[in-house]
Amino acid sequence: MNSSERAPAASFIKSDGSAVELKDLVGQRTIVLYFYPKDETAGCTAEACSFRDSYEDFKAAGAEVIGVSSDDAASHESFKKHHRLPFTLLSDPHGAAAKAFGVKKTFGLIAGRVTFVIDRAGVIRHKFDSQVRVQKHVEEALEVVRSLEGKSAA
């Protein structure tokens, strides 16, 4: 999946167990959709906390942050509570959404860490793929959101 391509159809599981389609999330705000390997692991916690710490900046710039992993709703709720995460975490239990987005496993084993910025029209405007540069996911996404929404850093 490259920048300037339409985001694929994808389905996720919300914390209440119901399904949600990506198309239902797109439209009102720019979406920062980040795929990560696993709740409560060092890199994923650092990434989630970086998104948490910049969440108000994302909101002010007109975006919503959504994290996605294969973890179940109970794991996500515990992770959110433990780290005071203000944004939505969705489950992709069988990896179908990750596959639709072209998120590849590292060494064929570890779920990918890829962030997408999807504009209000459902077009992917940015993709950042790095298993180790977790802070860069947040920095690049915020920069792209601000440019899309015409907002500059305060």
Write out the chain's pLDDT in tens, 154 residues.
Answer: 455 689 999 999 998 889 999 999 898 899 999 999 999 999 899 999 999 999 999 999 999 999 999 999 999 999 999 999 999 999 999 999 999 999 987 766 677 889 999 999 999 999 988 767 777 878 889 998 998 877 655 4
Structural contact between residues 116 and 37, judged by C-beta atoms closer than 8 angstroms: no
Provide the residue range defining the domain that includes 55.
11-149
**pTM attached to this predicted model:** 0.90
Q: Is residue 37 part of a domain?
A: yes
Rama region for 84: left / alpha / beta (φ>0; ψ in -120 to 50; rest) = left
For residue 88, list its beta bridge partners.
66
Q: Residues 7, 22, 33, 44: which is the catalytic one?
A: 44
Within a domain: 1: no
Looking at the 3D structure of the chain, how many domains does it have? 1
Per the annotation, the verdict on 49 as an active-site residue is no
| 80 located within any domain | yes
Three-state DSSP at 32 gives strand
Q: Give the length of the chain.
A: 154
